[in-house]
């Protein structure tokens, strides 16, 4: 018979489990909506997870935690796109309920290791131990088992967004503790001098370089910023990308209301 403590020490992560099955995990980026309703909309749409985009928004820490707690309750994975690889950016998000971080502009193995040190418990990192975490309904549980369970459930996603990162992709992929190498298509194509040219030879070669490095190192490959309507996103999934950002809530809302208004005005 299971006990409350034994049950509590199983920390589910839908995105992690989907990736481990070799399937495509889709996540919705949150930049506009600051309340938990967005989580239920994402779940209803079939997303595996959500991530709060702090790099490009002014969302406060309390709102981040509220969204993460709602996602935990809803059974989808809460992630946070942090502002930097340092502990002051990462720690509060993870202790507030996130089951992973997306780290922008990881340009070297050293920067990847900085994120790992902040996000993982000893011996792989130096994340501070909290005596009460939302993954266990804030109950007191044995520290060693709790940290092991949380560490296993925590995803670290390194965003590859520059030519320098491409040049050092193998050392980034080799960092113990990184789970996903994620193509940041907008910044990467801009740094390569071909902004928005997702289907061009230069961009495609760069994208496939990231996917290949991830596969060679036993990591997962991800992609964000490539519009689904371009056809290039499907090609990248076929090439091996498994962690897929669906874009931001703001853009989806804008497209939906624009489409509605067009249909009303044109009678279509």
Q: Which residues are catalytic?
A: 56
Residue 219: both structure tokens together: 């990591």
Residue 237: both structure tokens together: 């999934």
Q: Which residue, chain included where needed, has tokens 């299971």?
A: 2
- Cβ atoms of residues 66 and 73 within 8 Å: no
The three-state DSSP-derived secondary structure of the chain is CCCHHHHHCCCCCHHHHHHHCCCCEEEEEECCCCCCHHHHHHHHCCCCEEEEECCCCCCCHHHHHHHHHHHHHHCCEEEEECCCCCHHHHHHHHHCCCCEEEECCCCCHHHHHHHHHHHCCCCCCCCCCCCCCHHHCCCCCCHHHHHHHHHHHCEEEEEECCHHHHHCHHHHHCCCCCCEEEEEHHHHHHHCCCCCCCCCHHHHHHHHHHHHHHHHCCCEEEEECCCHHHCHHHHHHHHCEEEEEEEEHHHHHHHHHHHHHHHHHHCC
Q: Which residues, including other chains, have CB under 8 Å from residue 144's CB and lie 6 or more apart?
A: none
User: How many beta carbons lie within 10 A of that of residue 1, not counting itself?
Assistant: 3
């Amino acid at each position: 018979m299971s006990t409350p403590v034994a049950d509590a020490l199983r920390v589910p992560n839908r995105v992690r489990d989907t990736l481990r099955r070799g399937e495509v995990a889709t996540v919705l980026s949150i930049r506009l909506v600051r309340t938990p309703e967005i989580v239920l909309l994402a779940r209803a749409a079939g997303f595996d997870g959500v991530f709060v985009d702090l790099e490009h928004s002014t969302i406060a820490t309390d709102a981040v935690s509220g969204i993460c707690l709602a996602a935990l309750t809803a059974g989808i994975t809460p992630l946070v796109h942090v502002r930097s690889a340092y502990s002051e950016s990462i720690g509060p998000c993870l202790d507030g309920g996130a089951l992973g971080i997306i780290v922008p502009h990881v340009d070297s193995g050293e920067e990847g290791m900085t994120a790992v040190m902040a996000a993982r418990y000893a011996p792989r990192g130096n994340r501070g131990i909290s005596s009460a975490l939302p993954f266990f309904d804030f109950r007191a549980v044995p520290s060693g088992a709790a940290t092991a369970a949380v560490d296993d459930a925590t995803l670290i996603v390194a965003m590859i967004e520059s030519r320098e990162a491409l040049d050092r992709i193998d050392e980034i992929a080799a960092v113990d503790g990184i789970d996903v190498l994620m193509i940041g298509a907008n910044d990467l194509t801009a740094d390569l001098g071909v902004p928005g040219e997702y289907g061009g030879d230069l961009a495609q070669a760069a994208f496939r370089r990231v996917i290949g490095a991830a596969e060679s190192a036993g990591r997962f490959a991800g992609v964000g910023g490539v519009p689904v309507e371009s056809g290039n996103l499907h090609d990248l999934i076929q090439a091996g990308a498994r962690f897929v950002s669906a874009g931001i809530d703001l853009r989806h809302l804008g497209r939906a209301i624009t489409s509605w208004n067009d249909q009303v005005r044109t009678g279509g």
